[in-house]
Amino acid sequence: MATIKYGLEIKFGTQYGKEEEEAILRVIRNNAPTSGDECICFENNYAEYSGVKHARLVSNGSSALFLAMIGIGIRPGDRVLTTPVTWIATAAAPATLGAEVDFVDIDLETYNIDASQIEAHITSNTKALLPVHLYGQPCEMDEIVSMANKHNLLVVEDAAHAIGAEYKGKKVGSFGAAGCFSFHEQKNISTLGEGGIVVTNDDGIFETVSLYRSHCTRVHGHSTKYCKLDEEKFPVGKKFWWQDFDDCGYNFRMTDIQAAVGIEQLKKVDTLNQKRILNAAYLTEGLKGVAGLTLPKVKPYNKHVFHLYPVMIDTKEFGMNKEDFIYSMLNKYGIKVGFHYIPLHYSTAFKNRGFKKGQFPNAEKLGENLVTLPINPRQTEEALAYMVKSIKNLQT
Ligand SMILES: Cc1ncc(COP(=O)(O)O)c(C=O)c1O
């Protein structure tokens, strides 16, 4: 593999500074507990930032989605509709609870779920819609929420790519029953490589998510700190605490050291997103007019936070297919271009659930032709200029 130039790869996105270093030291000096006061502080800040009532930190975005599905009561036999163009964690959350997942094709302008096609997929078992704000651009939330209201469905937003993104001036994650975010190392902010959060305005969903995050125990003092003690089971002032479990759950907690870093990252998220937006604008300016490339379009009412910069390649017009583009960019120019995603109905997991090639033509077109360019906030103008030049050189 060629040496990566200017760190031009998607993985190179995290940006930590002195503030995060100091936060880590502070928590280490406090014995680095599992979920404690730092988590509570980050949760409060995140809820305020997102304009929601509650936020609960978890181990990653996948567990956020899983817990949100439990929170809204997804059970075997329920049906959940989502996009085939996403990371498997989105569809795996309902599927691992025994629900049936159905996909709805995407809109080729935004690459998000095509809201106008949702209704045709709704059956009497459909319980929830699970839109994904792909690459950082919000979905058509007015249409999605009104469709959900019409058919009595719940909406859970997968906002893993879209921390800080807004639809018509309102933060993503706050439109439906719950919103799920990821703080994985490649996301717009990170909590030391892994992390996630569920946000909701619903007290019941919040309590369920909080319980299932930590073994469904209501015992205080065991790092759960999620709700008031059950006064009947644990009378205040009693010497001994009894332990009880409402159900069997797992441990999906975040640690305080990660949350302390998250607190600092959240202070920087708007600045980091702004750099992504500027980087995207630079690429759009630099690549406009290149034959055979379709550059991202941002809906005028959206704040798109450019987790990724998607480019659709027309093989005939550009003179090269997606695979050759990725291979040449890496081997000739040392730029690691991504492909997000191969549609999920191509995967063994969903072929085994009865899906077939040909069912979702727009998603398939994306899978065959779309590449994602690294535009994270660490990229300098020099690096972006080099990337633009390299792409243009591919054609000569
Ligand atoms: C759209 C989407 N949803 C969910 C996830 C899961 O997040 P995590 O990796 O934090 O589990 C990802 C991760 O890449 C993602 O891209």
Q: What is the CATH number of the domain that holds 198?
A: 3.40.640.10
On whether both 20 and 156 belong to a single domain, the answer is: yes
In terms of domains, do 61 and 83 share one?
Answer: yes
Which of these, 106, 141, 87, 109, lies nearest to 310 by C-alpha position?
A: 109
For residue 360, what is the domain's CATH number? Answer: 3.90.1150.10
Per-residue model confidence (pLDDT) at position 32? 87
Q: Are 265 and 15 in contact (CB under 8 A)?
A: no
pLDDT digits (tens, 9 = 90+) for 50-77: 999 999 999 999 999 999 999 999 999 9
Are 220 and 362 contained in the same domain?
no
Cα–Cα distances in angstroms (integers) from residue 69 to residues 33, 80, 208, 307, 353, in the given order: 28, 10, 10, 24, 19
Residue 147 belongs to what H/E stretch? helix 141-150
Domains contained in the chain, number: 2
Length of the chain, in residues: 396
CA 91 to ligand 1 center in whole angstroms: 11
What does the pLDDT read at residue 10?
Answer: 86
Among residues 139, 143, 123, 120, the alpha carbon closest in space to that of 131 is found at: 139
Domain boundary among 264, 298, 333: 264
Give the pLDDT confidence score for residue 223 in this predicted structure. 40
Give the range of the structural domain holding residue 117, as residue numbers without chain letter: 10-264
Is 42 a member of any domain? yes
Mutate to test the pocket of ligand 1, among 58, 62, 342 (most ligand atoms within 8 A of CB): 62
* Ligand 1 atom closest to residue 60's alpha carbon, by position in its atom list: 10
Q: Measured between alpha carbons, how far is 209 from 47 in angstroms, rounded to an integer?
A: 15
Q: Please name the residue that has the structure tokens 């717009």.
A: 188
What's the 160 CA to ligand 1 centre distance in angstroms?
6
End of a domain among 264, 279, 308? Answer: 264
Which residues does a 6 A CB cutoff place in the pocket of ligand 1? 60-62, 86-87, 89-90, 132, 158, 160-161, 182, 184, 196
Return the pLDDT at 228: 46
Task: Please name the residue whose Cα sits nearest to atom 15 of ligand 1.
Answer: 87
In a domain, residue 5? The reply is no
Pairwise CA distance, residues 333 & 342, whole Å: 24
Give the number of the atom of ligand 1 that is nearest the alpha carbon of residue 158.
3
Mean pLDDT, 10 residues at a time, the chain of 396 residues: 86 93 96 89 97 97 98 98 98 98 98 98 98 98 98 98 98 98 97 98 95 81 44 52 78 96 98 98 97 98 98 97 97 96 98 98 98 95 97 92
Query: Do residues 344 and 206 both lie within one domain?
Result: no
DSSP characters over 220-289: TTSS---S---TTTS-TT-SS----BSS---B-PPPHHHHHHHHHHHHHHHHHHHHHHHHHHHHHHHHTT
pLDDT at 112: 98
Probe ligand 1: pick from 184, 192, 305, max atoms within 8 Å of CB?
184
Q: What pLDDT shows up at residue 221?
A: 43
Looking at residue 132, the DSSP 8-state letter turns out to be B
Query: Does residue 312 lie in a domain region?
Result: yes
Q: Do 52 and 185 share a domain, yes or no?
A: yes
User: Residue 2: inside a domain, yes or no?
Assistant: no
Residues 240 and 291 in one domain: no
Domain identity same for 230 and 286: no
105 and 35 belong to one structural domain:
yes
Based on the fold, state whether residues 229 and 259 are members of the same structural domain: yes
pLDDT tens-digit readout, 237-260: 554 455 678 899 999 999 999 999
Which DSSP state fits 378? T
* pLDDT of 141: 98
Kindly state whether residues 87 and 58 are assigned to the same domain. Answer: yes
In a domain, 1, yes or no: no
Structure-derived torsion over alpha carbons of residues 50, 246, 128, 123, reported in degrees to the nearest 10: -170
- Cα of 54 vs centre of ligand 1, distance in Å, is 21
Do 285 and 324 lie in one domain? The reply is yes
Among the three residues 264, 285, 307, which one is the final residue of a domain in this structure?
A: 264
- Asked if the structure places residue 297 within a domain, the reply is yes
| pLDDT, position 125 | 98
Domain contains 310:
yes
> 239: which 2 tokens?
């010497």
3 in a domain, yes or no?
A: no
Are 211 and 247 in the same domain?
yes
Kindly list the distances between the CA atom of residue 219 and the CA atoms of 1, 42, 70, 124, 229, in Å, as whole numbers in the listed order: 52, 22, 20, 39, 7
Q: Give the DSSP letter string of 18-48.
A: HHHHHHHHHHHHTT--SSSHHHHHHHHHHHH
Question: Quick one: which of 75, 27, 84, 39 has its CA closest to 362?
Answer: 84
